[in-house]
């Protein structure tokens, strides 16, 4: 074995098919998105409206079966704008946001669109935590989280 | 109430950007050999090995099991954690404290055969979050922004944390990035995920870390420089970023309160002589000060500005340079424990804090739900 011998690199790639079930709760939520309605489950004990809806409350540890419709407007609780390009992630810049919809007690992960992102200084002037946003719908909705195209600043 | 357990062997390999001349098990192997030599033990003395690893980063499933042989585990008792090695330390502690074993080997490795940002996307749930482009850094940036916005933490204050830690790392031959940076360097570095800049983000480092843990009786027999674990606890918070308060680290406060109770600490700022924290971003170092009770909510950056957490300050934090200087993903938390133990032995070299008696190490299982977290706190005292 000599020092000069090169190290051989074997390329690898994971491409494994899955069929992820949304289950009855998320399926009900996704069916509602097709009809441009956003619904959530409410905990019978702590009364929190959990978004996205889930089958049980992790704090009270009880099943959730009460549905409520929440508003399509909400408040930007947190955001980041990704400026770096990473393999497998969306093209930069994109803005990932946590939106607390009116009527919900927890925030939804989604994208922020129709905002100035390209230039950081201008972005900082236009995108702010606490700003009001609203859902923008895709024309073709298939029953998935991306039936909401993104949230946009409310004029 | 609890049995005494000591760290009697410490092994670290040099951290670097890549190591194509080694397969990933070899990092654990080299670190384990170093830790055994440091303890004055050999493989035959080891009763149980606890390994750690992350499948997606290592490019194979149950990767935490593949390193059992490289940790000296042939035909021995072994268990594995798919999280940071700091949790392997917690498992090993329990196995010894339970009286089942005398000597435990704990190993962890960092590896870099894929981009951590790319593979961390699969940590997120495929229904609601993954399709949006969530990742490790994106989630940390959301948390950093929420915290900075709520308490008015400035770009300059975040840069101050990086400048402190990179300055410490500059004199630590064991870490990866060994050059100091200026506030201007940090402030002019490229935006990555706002508010995170390039110099806020840790490198992806390759290397191994191993610790040998021992029962009290065995420690008294074989070790002249034991580091006693006097408090250890861990806690987990919701994986859902939208369900938690991003402006505090609730799982870390919960773990810290339990560990302080066990170690009999009521005023950590006075009781501790140094801390090694999992500063995955400078904002997270600040968040950790608050969760650990070192600063009031929103008050952490004042500690840095006052120099209190500098190497010569009241409570030096990350005298090793921290994670921003060396980040073997999966071993970065265990490395905090190794560095804190070296300090208590007075063997930290140029970065040595004068005469420390009690140290805190914090590790988090960063990608097990990204900013949603598992945190582990270890309190240790010199022998
Ligand atoms: Zn509840």
Q: What are phi and psi of A101, to 5 degrees?
A: -75, 145
Which among A77, A83, A84 has CB closest to B146?
A77
Beta-sheet pairing, B48-52 with B103-110? parallel
In terms of pLDDT, which residue wins out, B59 or B184?
Answer: B184
With CA atoms as reference, the chain B residue closest to A77 would be B146
Show residues of chain A in contact with B115, CB under 8 Å.
Answer: 86-87
Q: Tell me, in angstroms, the distance from the centre of ligand 1 to residue A38's CA.
A: 20
Distance in angstroms (rounded) separating the CA atoms of residues B43 and B1: 31
Question: Positive or negative, the Cα torsion across B276, B281, B286, B291?
Answer: negative
Test B242 with A14 for CB contact under 8 angstroms: no
- Closest by CA position to B318, among listed B299, B294, B84, B296: B294
B108 band by pLDDT with thresholds 50, 70 and 90: very high
pLDDT at B372 over 80: no
- Alpha-carbon distance B171 to B318, whole Å? 12
At residue B370, does pLDDT exceed 70?
no
Taking the Cβ of residue A106 and every Cβ of chain B, the question of whether any pair is shorter than 8 Å is answered with yes
Q: Which of A69-83, B63-77, B223-237 has the lowest mean pLDDT?
A: B63-77
**For residues B358-375, average pLDDT:** 78
pLDDT at A19: 96
Number of domains chain B is built from? 1
Q: How far is the CA of B128 from the centre of ligand 1 (A)?
A: 21
pLDDT the model gives residue B277: 97
Which pLDDT belongs to residue B366?
A: 61
A155 to chain B, minimum CA–CA distance in Å? 22
Nearest-neighbour CA in chain B from A88: distance (Å): 6
Report the range of poorest mean pLDDT among B11-25, B201-215, B368-382: B368-382
B372 CA distance to ligand 1 middle (Å): 19
Please give the Cα distance from B28 to B11 (Å, whole number): 9
Instruction: Give the count of beta carbons closer than 10 Å to the beta carbon of residue A60.
Output: 14
The C-alpha atoms of residue B266 and residue B207 are separated, in whole angstroms, by 36
Q: Given an 8 Å threshold on Cβ–Cβ distance, is B145 in contact with A88?
A: no
Tell me which of B109-118, B178-187, B193-202, B331-340 is least confident: B109-118
Q: How far apart are CA B76 and CA B98, in angstroms?
A: 17
Contact A98, B241 (CB under 8 A): yes
CA distance A137 to chain B (A): 15
The CATH number given to whatever domain includes residue B37 is: 3.40.47.10
Residue A62 near residue A44, CB atoms below 8 Å: yes
Q: Is B96 inside any structural domain? A: yes
CB contact (8 A) between residue A79 and residue B143? no
The domain segmentation of chain A, as residue ranges, is 23-153
ipTM summary value: 0.95
Residue B151 lies in a domain: no
**Closest partner CB to A78 (pick from B113, B128, B146):** B146
Which residues are within 8 A (CB) of B247 and not within 5 positions of it... i.e. 6 or more apart? B146, B147, B150, B151, B287
Backbone angles phi, psi at A46, to 5 degrees: -90, -5
Distance CA B20, CA B58 (A): 14
| Nearest CA distance, B237 vs chain A (angstrom) | 10
Q: Which residues pair with B254 in a beta bridge?
A: none
Report the alpha-carbon distance of residue B249 to residue A17 in Å, rounded: 35
Q: From the CA of B268, how far away is ligand 1's center (Å)?
A: 34
In this structure, is residue B101 part of a structural domain?
A: yes
Q: What is the three-class DSSP state of A95?
A: strand
Would you call B328 helix, strand, or coil by DSSP? coil
Distance CA A4, CA B245 (A): 54
Partner B contacted by A2 (CB < 8 A): no
Q: Which domain holds residue B211?
A: 5-116+204-222
B340: confidence class by pLDDT, cuts 50, 70, 90 = very high
Q: Which residues contact A65 (CB under 8 A, 6 or more apart)?
A: A41
Stretch among A88-97, B38-47, B57-66, B128-137 having the lowest mean pLDDT? B57-66
pLDDT at residue B113 greater than cutoff 90: no
Which of B141, B143, B240 is the best residue to mutate to test the A interface, defined by the most A CB atoms within 10 Å of its own CB? Answer: B240
Interface of B with A in 330-369 (CB under 8 A): none
Residue at B188 is within a domain: no
Calculate how close chain B gets to A90, using CA atoms only, in Å: 6
Mean pLDDT of B102-116: 92
Q: Report CA(B244)–ligand 1 centroid distance (Å).
A: 14
What percent of chain B clears pLDDT 70, i.e. is strictly above it?
A: 98
Chain B contact set for A107 (CB, 8 A): 241-243
User: Considering only CA atoms, which of A148, A127, A121 is closest in space to residue A137?
Assistant: A148
pLDDT digits (tens, 9 = 90+) for B160-179: 999 999 999 999 999 999 99
pLDDT, residue B371, reads 61
In terms of CATH architecture, what is A23-153?
Answer: Beta Barrel (2.40)
What's the mean pLDDT in B44-73?
89
Between chains, do B194 and A120 touch, taking CB under 8 Å as contact? yes
Q: What is the pLDDT of residue B1?
A: 45
- State the Cα–Cα distance between residues B186 and A4, nearest whole angstrom: 38
B19 pLDDT above the threshold of 60:
yes
Residue B89 in any domain: the answer is: yes
Please write the tens of the pLDDT for every residue from B142-154: 999 999 999 999 9
Domain annotation covers residue B39 = yes
- What pLDDT is stored for residue A64 in this prediction? 95
pLDDT band at residue B66 under the 50/70/90 scheme: confident
Q: Token match 């074995």: residue? A: A1
What's the pLDDT at B55?
Answer: 81
pLDDT in tens, chain A (155 residues): 767 899 999 999 888 999 999 999 999 999 999 999 999 999 999 999 999 999 999 999 999 999 999 999 999 999 999 999 988 899 999 999 999 999 999 999 999 999 999 999 999 999 999 999 999 999 999 999 999 999 999 97
pLDDT tens track for B315-337: 999 999 999 999 999 999 999 99
Residue contacts between A and B (CB atoms, under 8 Å): 121
């Amino acid at each position: 074995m000599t020092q000069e011998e090169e190290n051989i690199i074997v390329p690898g790639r994971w491409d494994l098919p899955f069929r992820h079930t949304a289950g009855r709760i998320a399926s009900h939520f996704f069916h509602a998105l097709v009809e441009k309605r956003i619904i959530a489950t409410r905990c019978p004990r702590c009364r929190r409206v959990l978004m996205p809806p889930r089958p049980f409350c992790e704090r009270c540890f009880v099943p959730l079966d009460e549905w409520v419709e929440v508003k399509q407007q909400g408040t930007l609780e947190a955001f980041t704008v990704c400026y770096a390009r990473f393999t497998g992630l969306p093209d930069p810049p994109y803005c990932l946001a946590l939106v607390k919809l009116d009527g919900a007690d927890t925030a939804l992960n989604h994208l922020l669109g129709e905002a100035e992102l390209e230039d950081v200084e201008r972005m900082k002037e236009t995108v702010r935590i606490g700003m009001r946003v609203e859902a923008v719908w895709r024309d073709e909705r298939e029953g998935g989280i991306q039936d909401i195209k993104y949230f946009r600043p409310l004029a | 109430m609890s049995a005494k357990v000591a760290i009697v062997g410490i092994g670290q390999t040099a951290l670097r950007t890549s190591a194509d001349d080694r397969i990933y098990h070899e990092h654990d192997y080299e670190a384990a050999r170093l830790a055994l030599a440091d303890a004055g033990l050999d493989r035959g003395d080891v009763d149980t090995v606890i390994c750690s690893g992350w499948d997606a980063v290592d490019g194979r499933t149950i990767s935490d099991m593949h390193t059992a042989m490289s940790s000296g585990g042939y035909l021995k008792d072994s268990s594995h954690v798919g999280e940071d090695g700091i949790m392997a330390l917690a498992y090993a502690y329990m196995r010894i404290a339970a009286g089942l074993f005398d000597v435990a080997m704990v190993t962890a490795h960092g590896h870099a055969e894929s981009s951590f940002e790319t593979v961390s996307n699969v940590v997120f749930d495929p229904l609601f979050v993954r399709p949006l482009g969530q990742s490790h850094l994106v989630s940390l940036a959301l948390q950093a922004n929420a915290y900075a916005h709520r308490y008015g933490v400035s770009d300059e204050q975040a840069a101050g944390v990086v400048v402190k830690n990179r300055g410490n790392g500059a004199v630590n031959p064991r870490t990866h990035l060994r050059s100091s940076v200026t506030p201007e360097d940090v402030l002019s570095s490229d935006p990555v995920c706002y508010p995170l800049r390039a110099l806020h983000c840790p490198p992806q480092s390759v290397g191994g870390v191993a610790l040998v843990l021992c029962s009290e009786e065995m420690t008294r027999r074989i070790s002249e420089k034991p580091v006693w674990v006097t408090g250890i606890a861990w806690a987990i918070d919701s994986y859902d970023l939208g369900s938690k308060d991003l402006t505090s680290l609730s799982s870390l406060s919960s773990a810290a309160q339990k560990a302080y109770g066990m170690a009999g600490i009521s005023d950590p700022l006075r009781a501790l002589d140094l801390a090694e924290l999992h500063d995955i971003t400078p904002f997270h170092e600040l968040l950790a000060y608050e969760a650990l009770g070192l600063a009031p909510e929103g008050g952490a950056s004042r500690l840095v500005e006052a120099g209190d957490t500098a190497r010569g300050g009241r409570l030096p934090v990350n005298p090793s340079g921290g994670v921003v200087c060396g980040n073997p993903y999966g071993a970065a938390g265990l490395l905090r424990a190794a560095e804190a133990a070296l300090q208590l032995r007075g063997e930290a070299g140029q970065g040595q804090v004068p005469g420390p008696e009690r140290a805190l190490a914090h590790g988090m299982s960063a990608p097990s739900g990204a900013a949603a977290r598992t945190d582990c706190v270890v309190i240790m005292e010199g022998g």
